[in-house]
Amino acid sequence: MSRQGRYAAWAAVFITIAAGPRAAEAQITGSIAGTIRDASGAVLPGATVTVRGPSLRKESAAAASGASGAYRVALIPPGVYDVTVERQGFAAQTRKDGEVAINQQTTLDFT
């Protein structure tokens, strides 16, 4: 094998090793997403969404709803989670049916 061929082979090995963990993680997680609305049906921006469960690698994962009331919590390992929505001036709401599957997005809307 020529010198250039060896460099190309080593470069390919390095790229594969460097990208491997990220690619593997992306393939073994899912996400929870949805829309948050108030009792009148109007979207509710600025709400905090917290995901908790034993399958998480940390105590919790969180996101905030955007201007359209939409939120998304990504890179969640498969499992069943408690999902809590909180916003000042509104009662907190928790759902215990946040089941996440590999490469799937679970939709949990809150009203």
How do strand 79-86 and strand 93-100 relate by DSSP bridges?
Answer: antiparallel
The CATH code of the domain that includes 101 is: 2.60.40.1120
For residue 36, the enclosing domain spans 29-107
Phi-psi region of 108 (alpha: psi -120 to 50; beta: other; left: phi over 0): beta
Please report whether residue 1 resides in a domain: no
Q: What is the pLDDT of residues 69-99, one digit of tens each?
A: 999 999 999 999 999 999 999 999 999 999 9
23 occurs within a structural domain: no
The identity of residue 111, as a single letter, is T
pLDDT, tens digit, 9 for 90 and up, residues 20-68: 555 555 479 999 999 999 999 999 999 999 999 999 989 999 999 999 9
Residue 37 domain-assigned? yes
- What are the tokens at 19? 């990208």
Q: Which residues, 6+ apart, have CB-to-CB distance to 38 below 8 Å?
A: 44, 90, 111
67 found inside a domain:
yes
Q: What total of structural domains would you count in the chain?
A: 1
Residue 50 within a domain: yes
Note the pLDDT of residue 56. Answer: 94
pLDDT number for residue 71: 99
The predicted pLDDT at position 27 comes to 76
Ramachandran class of 106: left when φ > 0, alpha when ψ lies in -120 to 50, beta otherwise: beta
Whether 13 is covered by a domain: the verdict is no
The mean of the pLDDT values for the chain is 87
Residue 88 lies in a domain: yes
